[in-house]
Amino acid sequence: MPPRKSKSRIGGDSNPLADDAEHTAPVSPLHDQPYERGERPQPETSADANGASPPATVEQAPARVAEVEKVRPPATPQEMVEYLDSFTPLDAPLAATADLTDKERQIRDQYEAAIAGADLGFIVEGMVAKWTQAGELYRDEYAEFEDYCQAHDRSMRRINQLMQVAPLGLHILRRLGKNFSRLRLNESHAKHLLPLADRAGDDAAVLVYETLLRANERVTGRLLQAVLARLPEDRWNPDEAVTTIEAFLAEGSRVLPAEREQAPAAPVEAEIGRIQKTVQRATRLAHRQPDLARRIAAELEQAAQRIRAELRDGEPGA
């Protein structure tokens, strides 16, 4: 899978859904560990030359792409649609075998090379994850899709968020990209439109976005929030929606909702969460790769002993 990108995009200090986030072309890389293609690694159980066991790892991502030819980011929304159409989408595995077929490997290579080669935005990231999961392109190396994501240090929660909004983003691009070259759809926009799409259909979300573009508005998450708040939730009428939006835009003074800040996770809680995930993965590996599971358990036990020793040293009278 793709290499880790800047933390300012996903999981960093800045909020990728904020209105002031960079409005990239609507599709971004899966920001993760270096991922190079080669021989599938085998679990190591032997000690090194000094007798020390290698550090525990949880099924490190196999090396796959030695060098990725960088993809030139599409310059327009229509080019982005054409680029996405070059992918082979999957909605189910192509074969009922534990190993991947040659065709499936080629498709996985296509997915991973694309998101490793350029910063293309949230739609490519989400759709590639969705197709990878549906096609079970991880099954030759991992029992579960979550294991595949975790091996590349990716949060399953974040991947689920991307898979949820990417199809709507792609639909908006297909419908509006050809006629609106200045379309700058970002993840925040798709996220705000998702509830409307869920209850009234994706075309309802397209109509709201199109109405704002035709009014020469700079679309932001806050503007979408304000517009959507004016629309009734118990019914959907396209003509009524357009009239309501145009009336709101014609108002001399618009009251936009305040920007909501995401509270950062407490550092201690975040660390505990990572440890718990490691334990869960080790438990799943116990029967499939017992040697690796034992190494993880040993490392965790040694780490706990070191912490307890430090605590004793710091006690009064120690």
Q: Residue 27 forms beta bridges with which residues?
A: 121, 122
C-alpha torsion angle, residues 173, 179, 184, 185 (rounded to 10): -30
Take residue 185 and report the two structure tokens written for it: 């759809």
For residue 121, give the 3-state DSSP assignment. Answer: strand
Expressed as residue numbers, the domain containing 307 is 268-318
**283 belongs to a structural domain:** yes
Q: 121 vs 44, which has greater pLDDT?
A: 121
Judged by average pLDDT, the poorest of 48-52, 145-149, 264-268 is 48-52
Tally of CB atoms within 10 A around 187: 27
Burial class (CB in 10 A: 0-12, 13-18, 19+), 15: middle
**313 belongs to a structural domain:** yes
Q: Report which of 135, 200, 131 is spatially closest to residue 170, judged by C-alpha positions.
A: 131
Query: Could you give the number of structural domains in the chain?
Result: 1
pLDDT at residue 133 tops 80: yes
Judged by average pLDDT, the poorest of 52-56, 155-159, 282-286 is 52-56
Check the CA dihedral 33-36-37-39 and report its sign: negative
In the prediction, which pLDDT does 226 show?
94
Distance CA 98, CA 57 (A): 23
**117 belongs to a structural domain:** no
pLDDT band at 258 (very low <50, low <70, confident <90, very high): low
Write out pLDDT tens, residues 152-163. 667 899 999 999
- Mean pLDDT over 286-299 rounds to 76
Residues of the chain above pLDDT 70, percent: 64
Distance CA 191, CA 187 (A): 6
Write out pLDDT tens, residues 157-199. 999 999 999 999 999 999 999 899 889 999 999 999 999 999 9
Instruction: Report whether 68 contacts 116 (CB < 8 A).
Output: yes
In the prediction, which pLDDT does 80 show?
87
Write out pLDDT tens, residues 67-95. 445 556 677 888 888 988 999 999 999 99
**295 belongs to a structural domain:** yes
pLDDT band at 269 (very low <50, low <70, confident <90, very high): low
- Mean pLDDT over 262-280 rounds to 64
Q: Residue 64 forms beta bridges with which residues?
A: 37
pLDDT at residue 37 tops 60: no
Write out pLDDT tens, residues 225-249. 999 999 999 999 999 999 999 999 9
Place of tokens 């004793």: 312
pLDDT band at 288 (very low <50, low <70, confident <90, very high): low
**303 belongs to a structural domain:** yes
pLDDT band at 116 (very low <50, low <70, confident <90, very high): low
Q: What's the pTM?
A: 0.63
**224 belongs to a structural domain:** no
Write out pLDDT tens, residues 201-228. 999 999 999 999 999 999 999 999 999 9
For residue 53, give the 3-state DSSP assignment. Answer: coil
Q: Report which of 255, 194, 200 is spatially closest to residue 223, judged by C-alpha positions.
A: 255
pLDDT at residue 265 tops 80: no
Q: Report which of 170, 86, 82 is spatially closest to residue 121, judged by C-alpha positions.
A: 170
- Mean pLDDT over 39-54 rounds to 45
Q: What is the mean pLDDT of the chain?
A: 76
Number of helices (H) and strands (E) in the chain: give both, helices first: 11, 0
- Mean pLDDT over 262-276 rounds to 62
**203 belongs to a structural domain:** no
Instruction: Report whether 151 contacts 60 (CB < 8 A).
Output: yes
**124 belongs to a structural domain:** no
Instruction: Report whether 245 contacts 212 (CB < 8 A).
Output: yes
Distance CA 173, CA 175 (A): 6
